[in-house]
Amino acid sequence: MRIVLLGPPGAGKGSLASLYDIRLGIAHLSTGEIFRQEIARRSALGRRVRRYVLSGRLVPDALVVEVMAARLRRARAAGFVLDGFPRTAGQAQGLDRVLARQWRRLDAAVYLISPQPLLVKRLSGRRVCSRCGANYHLRTMRPKRAGRCDRCGGRLTVRKDDQPRMIRKRLAVDRKAAAPLVAYYRRRGLLHRVNGVGNVETVYRRTLALFRRHRWLPS
């Protein structure tokens, strides 16, 4: 099975992809995690990515595709689920070219649909330690003592970009930026929308039913 997970911030793409990895043996390939690994390894690709990250610039589509192509060559026989890639129609086209060279193709682009109030609730739950910078979440990773960091006892605060007003702005920007990518997969007949409301187990079961219906799961 080879799929792309799409959806706005807070839709639960990372949590869902981790379950596919653990339960189905389908490799979870997260762009952010792969970038961090390549930078930590100080690989040639990692050094190139690091220059953009340090300067606050977006990593060019061609370089993103190159990094992911290297990782896709090592993907398990059971397939992969991509989280955070592609982000643009240009990256999607690059992914198609990479898979074609490997005599493979994408099975689907699965878009998780969640109403904005739910996304705001999920995203606004993040808390950050004012002393050591450790991250927590009121829904998925609660501190042992309310309002205090488990690690150093520092006070937990809400970052400015995690406040509801800023989150709604972020979601609007993301929706506009994602429109060409969603349209690309719709035109190719690969787009499948799945209700993202509910806990991760509920959404997992919905996507599993979709995979079985289309016989994408490895035998």
Render 78-119 in DSSP notation, one character per residue: T-EEEES---SHHHHHHHHHHHHHTT----EEEEEE--HHHH
Let me know if 213 is a catalytic residue.
no
The verdict on whether omega for the bond into residue 86 sits within 30 degrees of 0, i.e. cis, is yes
- Tally the C-alpha atoms within 13 A of residue 64's C-alpha that lie toward its C-beta: 26
Let me know if 87 is a catalytic residue.
yes
Residue 207 has which token pair?
């996507």
Q: Is 90 exceeded by the pLDDT of residue 213?
A: yes
Pick the catalytic residue from 41, 73, 155, 159.
159
Question: What is the reported pLDDT for 4?
Answer: 96
Q: Domain locations in the chain? A: 2-114+189-214
pTM: 0.85
3-state helix, strand, coil in the chain (%, to 5): 50, 15, 35
Let me know if 23 is a catalytic residue.
no
- Name the helix (H) or strand (E) containing 44: helix 44-55
Q: Is 70 exceeded by the pLDDT of residue 136?
A: yes
CATH class of 2-114+189-214: alpha beta
Q: Is 80 exceeded by the pLDDT of residue 46?
A: yes
Pick the catalytic residue from 13, 71, 122, 127.
13
Let me know if 176 is a catalytic residue.
no
Contact 59, 31 (CB under 8 A): no
Pick the catalytic residue from 36, 131, 148, 170.
170
Let me know if 159 is a catalytic residue.
yes
